[in-house]
Amino acid sequence: MTYKVEIRWHGRGGHGLVSTSNLLCEMVVRKGYYAQSIPIFGAERRGAPTQVFTRISDSPIRKRSEIKNPDIVIVTDPSLFNIIDPLHGLVDKGIVIVNANESTEISSENNFKIIKVNAVEISLESGLTVGGIPVVTIPLMGALLKILGIVDLKTVEEVIRERWRPEIAERNIKALKMASEVVEIG
């Protein structure tokens, strides 16, 4: 049985989508998977809608085109639903991980599984901010890692600690752990 997951990230310029997708690839590659992180570049500027694609597979990945039918969509800002359709092409029973609090309405007529992660709150509580702005992509990745279930916590921590100095690494790890607790697998 082959393992293939296609993930599409929707966010805004400055959210750190590219770095987070690359970080995810590092973690899964360390577990022996193949991965690919494709940023879509246009006239990027802070705050403008952006997209990144992540492919994960247990065999080498040849194609490099945009992901049209993702298995999982990640949305870093619920206000994006007002200006684009982040769920377009999402597969049947696809998963949506969105940065939102419980009261935020995310409506979908399809049978998608919508997982709300209050990434802002988690980041603030973990002290994970850059220039006072919460880093929302890390908690969202925490939820994603729980759903994927292919990277153990030890590897996650190892990759994070290689990338950041101890103080910052611990904040990232705390945010990832808090987010994964939000997600119920079922």
Residues near another protein (CB under 8 A) are: 21-22, 25-26, 29, 34-41, 61-66
Q: How far is the CB of 152 from another protein (least distance, A)?
A: 18
Residues 96, 53: Cα–Cα separation, whole Å: 14
Measured from the CB atom, is 34 or 112 closer to another protein? 34
Residues 122, 124: Cα–Cα separation, whole Å: 5
Measured from the CB atom, is 25 or 178 closer to another protein? 25
Measured from the CB atom, is 20 or 118 closer to another protein? 20
Q: How far is the CB of 98 from another protein (least distance, A)?
A: 24
Four-residue CA torsion sign, 119, 121, 125, 130: positive
Q: Count Cβ atoms below 10 Å from residue 48 Cβ, excluding itself.
A: 12
Greatest CA separation for the chain = 45
Measured from the CB atom, is 21 or 99 closer to another protein? 21
Q: How far is the CB of 46 from another protein (least distance, A)?
A: 18
Q: How far is the CB of 3 from another protein (least distance, A)?
A: 15
Q: Which amino acid is at 53?
A: F
Measured from the CB atom, is 114 or 155 closer to another protein? 155
SS (H, E, C) 67-107: CCCCCEEEECCHHHHHCCCCCCCCCCCCEEEEECCCCCCCC
Q: How far is the CB of 2 from another protein (least distance, A)?
A: 12
**Tokens at 13, concatenated:** 């310029």
Question: DSSP letter at 182?
Answer: H
